[in-house]
A and B are shown apart, each in its own frame.
Chain A
Amino acid sequence: KAGVTQTPRYLIKTRGQQVTLSCSPISGHRSVSWYQQTPGQGLQFLFEYFSETQRNKGNFPGRFSGRQFSNSRSEMNVSTLELGDSALYLCASRPGQDYEQYFGPGTRLTVT
């Protein structure tokens, strides 16, 4: 079975722009979660989608949003980028409400 895939792997954007990141979960997994990882704050939960609905949400501003499609693929959007948004964005999938999640390789976003 193929693992979780994320595109693009690397991205450079300018402050004020917006960005969309994509995540394809493991086949059969209906839950996709997004995380931000930075050296200063560590790994922080953004939100989780299950069957096209946001099921859980972390403490991030409204500039961070996401959606999930009927095939369980998910996208994450960040609008009005700030320098502090530079981070590794990871997505993780799981079948349903299992405790074990499978992480993708991440998208490294650099905001200049």
Chain B
Amino acid sequence: GQNIDQPTEMTATEGAIVQINCTYQTSGFNGLFWYQQHAGEAPTFLSYNVLDGLEEKGRFSSFLSRSKGYSYLLLKELQMKDSASYLCAVSRAGGSYIPTFGRGTSLIVHP
């Protein structure tokens, strides 16, 4: 089976940096996704990490440690529009890249 844990809710201030953690336990791990979902909208792809380390993409960075079953999404220079749910998801070996999602972290950015 698969177990994915992430905090339910986080709050942060505009302009600040926030780190959203995700831990997972799964057999046959292949890679880890991060998706962003604004209320009432479809999820949008942010990143997919396969190798250990940090990958930076503009204001967003994603980190993976395969040995620790741990990932985080780092959001810098927070903007009000970053208020959304952030979904961590894992894909298993086999090449299908089908994500199994965690419950998501609701991030609230306030002025």
Which B residues touch A103, using CB under 8 A?
42-44
Minimum Cβ distance to chain A for residue B60 (Å): 15
Chain B contact-residue range equals: 20 to 34
Asked if A61 is at the interface (CB within 8 A of a chain B CB), the reply is: no
- Interface residue? A22 (CB, 8 A): no
Q: Interface on B for A, CB 8 Å cutoff?
A: 31, 33, 41-45, 48, 87, 89, 91, 95-104
Closest to A43 in B: B101
Known A43-B87, A90-B42; judge A99-B101 contact (CB<8 A).
no
Any chain B CB within 8 A of the CB of A104? yes
Instruction: Classify the secondary structure of A's interface with B.
Output: strand
Closest B residue, CB atoms, query A90: B42
Known A-B contacts A99-B31, A99-B33; A43 and B43 likewise in contact (beta carbons under 8 Å): yes
Most buried by A among B42, B87, B102: B42
Which B residue's beta carbon lies closest to that of A44? B101
- 26 interchain pairs (CB within 8 A)? A42-B103, A42-B104, A43-B87, A43-B89, A43-B101, A44-B101, A48-B96, A48-B98, A56-B96, A90-B42, A90-B43, A97-B95, A97-B96, A97-B97, A98-B97, A99-B31, A99-B48, A99-B97, A100-B45, A101-B45, A101-B99, A102-B45, A104-B42, A105-B41, A105-B42, A106-B42
Closest to A40 in B: B103
User: Which A residues lie within 8 Å of B104 (CB)?
Assistant: 42-43
Q: How distant is B18 from chain A, measured CB to nearest CB, in Å?
A: 21
Chain A residues positioned under 8 Å from B89 (CB to CB): 43
Chain B CB within 8 A of A63 CB: no
- Which chain B residues border A45 with CB–CB below 8 Å? 98-100
Q: Is A74 an interface residue (CB 8 A)?
A: no
